[in-house]
Amino acid sequence: MEQLLDLICEATDIVYFRSEDPVQAAKVVVSDTAGMIWKASLEHEGFPGFARRAAPQLLRWERAYGWTRHGDGSVAQKETSLASLLVGHLKLPDMWVTMADSYLTALDAAAQASSARGEREDAHRHDTRYVREQRARNLAEWHEALLERLAGSDAEDRLERLVRHPALEGPEMTFLQARLAQKRGDLPRARSLATRCLESLPGHRGVLAFAEAIAAPIPARAAAHSKRSTSGRRQP
């Protein structure tokens, strides 16, 4: 089952099959299958073993927009994020710390593997900036959950490692850094980072709402996106 999910997730990024939507055609709901794997792992390996197994799987399998090619159809309607499944297993504060540590270890392994491949081959064929940005986008919901749970706790140092990790890159990480700065009361830094993020993601509603809430300067392109979005809404 793990190999099947690895293949499916690769097929969302690379065209392996002639089918217009191979995941829909196979009728495989990735989140349901991952949920079964994680439930079995938790029952047979206990929580520490589950954390060691689930963290790298989350890294490989999570997709921000699901696993079907077009995001519609009967399979897509049944999908849910792996982050939400994982959060459902974390009942106690110590579990969050254990999972955060396992996740950071998985990120370390991804970064080390990329570095080793880059020494032997063309790094652009492997862990490019695009791959790191896509990884950050796919895992944004999980990162948000870690931020909400660990900020202000004795385990906040894990967040410092996370927001600067070399396996992640791009505006989603800038947004995460901004939110961490805001939670620490550093509003000047939070505003600066939010503005920088909007320069890259002018249409990101979450970043825009955050920037407006902390009175960060809104770049012109982001303001224009906001006006178009507002004018397009149906008026009550």
Where along the chain do its domains lie? 2-169
Q: Is the dihedral of CA 97, 171, 183, 206 positive or negative?
A: negative
Q: What pLDDT digit, counting tens, does each position of 41-68 carry?
A: 999 999 999 999 999 999 999 999 888 8
How high is the pLDDT of residue 117? 60
Residue corresponding to tokens 């906001």: 226
Between 59-73, 105-119, 211-225, the lowest mean confidence (pLDDT) is in 105-119
* Torsion angle of the four alpha carbons 224, 226, 229, 234, in this order, in degrees rounded to the nearest 10: -120
Q: What is the pLDDT of residue 236?
A: 34
- Mean pLDDT on 183-207: 96
- Taking all residues of the chain, what is their mean pLDDT, rounded to a whole number? 88
Q: Would you say 59 and 109 are in contact if contact means Cβ atoms under 8 Å apart?
A: no
Confidence class of residue 18 from pLDDT cuts 50, 70 and 90? Answer: low
Q: What is the pTM of this model?
A: 0.88
Band of pLDDT at residue 149, cut at 50, 70 and 90: very high
154: its two tokens: 């004795």
| pLDDT (0 to 100) of residue 104 | 98
The crossing angle, in degrees rounded to 10, of helices 205-213 and 220-231 is: 110
Residue 16 has pLDDT above 70, yes or no: no
Identity of the residue numbered 59: L
Q: What's the pLDDT at 127? A: 55
Tokens of 25: 């055609």
The whole-number pLDDT of residue 34 equals 96
Position 184 confidence tier, pLDDT thresholds 50, 70, 90:
very high
